[in-house]
Amino acid sequence: MFHSAEAVFRPKTVAIVGASETGGDGWPKALYENMRYGGFSAKVYLVNPRRSELWDQPVYPDLATLPEPVDLALMVIPAEAVPASLKQGAAHGLKAALLYAARFGEGGDPEGAARARTVKDLCERTGVRVCGPNCMGALSVREQLLFYPAPRIRALPPGPVGVIFQSGGTFQFWLQAGAVRGLGFSYAVSSGNELDLDLADYINFMIEDENTRLIACMVEGVRRPDAFMAAAEKALAAEKPIVMVKVGRSDKGKAAARSHTGALTGDDKVFDAVCRKCGVVRCPSLDDLIETALAFQFGRLPKGKRIAMAGYSGGAKGLFLDYAASEGAEIAELSQSTLDALSPLIDPGLTPDNPLDTGAGLAVRQSVFSGICQIIAGDEHVDILTVQGQLPLSPEENIDPAVFADIVESTDKPVLVYGRMAQNVTEVGRAFQEKAKAPFIQGLPETVRALQALIRYGECRRRAIPQIEAPTGRESNLEGAAFEELLRGHGLQTPAAALAASPADAAAAAGQIGFPVALKIMSPHASHKTEVGGVRLDLIDGEAVRREAEAMAARLKKHHANAEIRGFLVQEMVRGAELILGVREDPQFGPFMIVGLGGVLVEAIRDFVVRLLPVSTADGREMLGELRGAKVLEAFRGQPARDIEALAAAMAGLSRLFLNYRTWLVDLEVNPLMVLEHGKGVRAIDVRQVRKS
């Protein structure tokens, strides 16, 4: 499943193909100078058919004439020359190549696309591994192998962070900004078009590297979903967090808009669910990627999700609470003994609580502030702590790093230091952060998101990733009464109903069911019944049923002149909270579930949650709790509480049903699903299946 990136990051011999003073905008010379700066930790050969000597080194006409096979070729040559050079290298022992050139099909260029296919085919036939094309190179910071054509990356410090960016232009600037903030790097790669080696391969390499402890990514697209998910699960098992900025929105799901489930998840909601399942931490910005990576770099994970915060600014406390609420963070309830211990230490007139405002007096009483934070860290109701602090800009500032180091050493819980706003960070500040033994996060929103990232990753680490078993369901069970029984056996009770062939038969069936009733037209041309006027509710007598059946048949014929009408479904009227519950096979990442409020109005309300299957009853409860309008399922404004346990069980049941019948189904949707009052269950009002055929 994974290709080895070993020769890209740890070559013993390197050839610069296209070596010259000025060629490629000076990139060959910059690469050579970076190798010189790194002490030539790999043997370097120069290749150029028009030179015999350069930089006091012999120059060879091509890869075939080198004294020995090389592990890695840095190809700084025009795109049209790449395939022939790669082919020659493969014939003479070349293991890998970095392709810096563009024009391999970007923007729909047919000539470039053909060139890309040639390179891809060559990799598959020969086993030569390729990074790029259209990339900015790779860095092995510990080995000082700097295959990046600019000197500015020479100052990057070694450390535990592996970096994979599909964006070449952003790559170097993020690395520099991260280094300023205190990140240290093991390996980094600008992966470009990923014709051969891709995101999953680089993640796998960094998982297997003992010096890499976390992986930061900027991703535009996932080329091999199965391999990416396997790499992410492997990283989670190895406790090597992946933090990621994902750009762009997928249109794949929009082509599947035959159901609400497909239409709603046409953005990256499914990718969110993948990340949640596999422990990948998504960040909203490149700045957050730095702050979150810094939080993880210090290596501690919380055992729960209860947050404590201590500072000496009432305004910062209020802002922290606002940001915590928007991120769904849980604020710890401090024990009475902790509150009693804090009371005499904070400024007079203030009441101890969490978040804690100690008062401005503690800003200059550093040892007392440290002691206060240690008391909070020791509270059994606290899982993770953030405390106020500022990095010094110069040696003259009178701040002792032990103030923070003592807090860290007093506990095994994660401790993050927050700044109210971003600040400049100097060499003095970075050294202070190292001595303080804690990450100094820039900004309150970033702090809350970093806290939540540690919490969610810790939660994911504590639960096993469920595996999907092979489907065994028979297609015959998806028809008629057998399907109704199948639904009931999975917690999806259907209302009393009858299928009528004509409007008159519908009126008679309604009389047997009992009024009021709902009426729905049955037609393959009425996928979304409400959109063609194919649903009527609260019909109170047989004449109303007959009249409405005739009218909806006429309306459907206006939409589709040749529409096939298979009859009319008459159902008992059911009152309850209206939801949508759907499962679907994503073409990239496999089966997932959506649950949302609003039923047929869900696309307008857009209050829904997505998870990859399987979904358990506990997962169902968790998903329901994440709905913005979750309170409508509780006792609310005179309405009784809804049967949430039955709803969660129905979600787990639909998950099991779909997984067992995914041989035949691509989509199964209950819309609306009515949730009755507590103890009375749910009713699957309209169930729609889409077969793979």
How much is the pLDDT for 23?
Answer: 75
Amino acid at position 81, single letter: A
Question: Hey, how many other C-beta atoms are within 10 angstroms of the C-beta on 329?
Answer: 20
| Half-sphere exposure at residue 260, Cβ-oriented, CA atoms within 13 angstroms | 32
How much is the pLDDT for 263?
Answer: 45
Q: How far apart are CA 288 and CA 290, in angstroms?
A: 5
CA 376 centroid distance within chain: 32
Q: How far apart are CA 248 and CA 460, in angstroms?
A: 25
Q: Which two tokens stand for residue 284?
A: 């909203």
CA 688 centroid distance within chain: 29
How much is the pLDDT for 33?
Answer: 96
How much is the pLDDT for 606?
Answer: 85
How much is the pLDDT for 275?
Answer: 95
Helix (H, G, I), strand (E, B) or coil at 481: helix
* Strand partners of residue 577: 675
Q: Which two tokens stand for residue 378?
A: 């020791």
Q: Which two tokens stand for residue 18?
A: 């296209």
How much is the pLDDT for 255?
Answer: 40
How much is the pLDDT for 540?
Answer: 93
Q: Which residues contact 352 (CB under 8 A, 6 or more apart)?
A: 334, 338, 339, 342, 343, 346
Q: Where are the beta strands (DSSP E) in 283-406?
A: 306-311, 330-331, 356-357, 384-388
Q: For residues 214 and 296, is the Cβ–Cβ distance under 8 A?
A: yes
Closest CA to 83 of 107, 60, 105, 114: 114
Q: For residues 138 and 148, is the Cβ–Cβ distance under 8 A?
A: yes
Burial of residue 402, with CB atoms counted within 10 A of its CB: 0-12 exposed, 13-18 middle, 19 or more buried: middle
pLDDT, tens only, 9-62: 999 999 999 999 887 779 999 999 999 999 999 999 999 999 999 999 999 999
How much is the pLDDT for 316?
Answer: 95
Q: How far apart are CA 105 and CA 111, in angstroms?
A: 7
Q: For residues 16 and 28, is the Cβ–Cβ distance under 8 A?
A: yes
Q: Which two tokens stand for residue 624?
A: 């329901």
Helix (H, G, I), strand (E, B) or coil at 425: coil
How much is the pLDDT for 249?
Answer: 52
pLDDT, tens only, 235-283: 999 999 999 999 865 454 334 333 444 444 445 788 999 999 999 999 9
Q: How far apart are CA 74 and CA 28, in angstroms?
A: 9
Q: DSSP secondary-structure letter at 636?
A: B
* Strand partners of residue 384: 307
Q: Which two tokens stand for residue 490?
A: 């999975």
Helix (H, G, I), strand (E, B) or coil at 73: strand
| Residue numbers in the chain where pLDDT is lower than 70 | 248-267
Residue 327, φ and ψ in degrees, nearest 5: -95, 0
Walk me through the domains of the chain, giving residue ranges and CATH numbers: 6-294 (3.40.50.261), 299-462 (3.40.50.261), 496-572 (3.30.1490.20), 577-691 (3.30.470.20)
Q: How far apart are CA 413 and CA 300, in angstroms?
A: 7
First to last CA, the chain: 29
DSSP string covering 265-305, please? Answer: TTSTHHHHHHHHHHTEEE-SSHHHHHHHHHHHHT----SS-
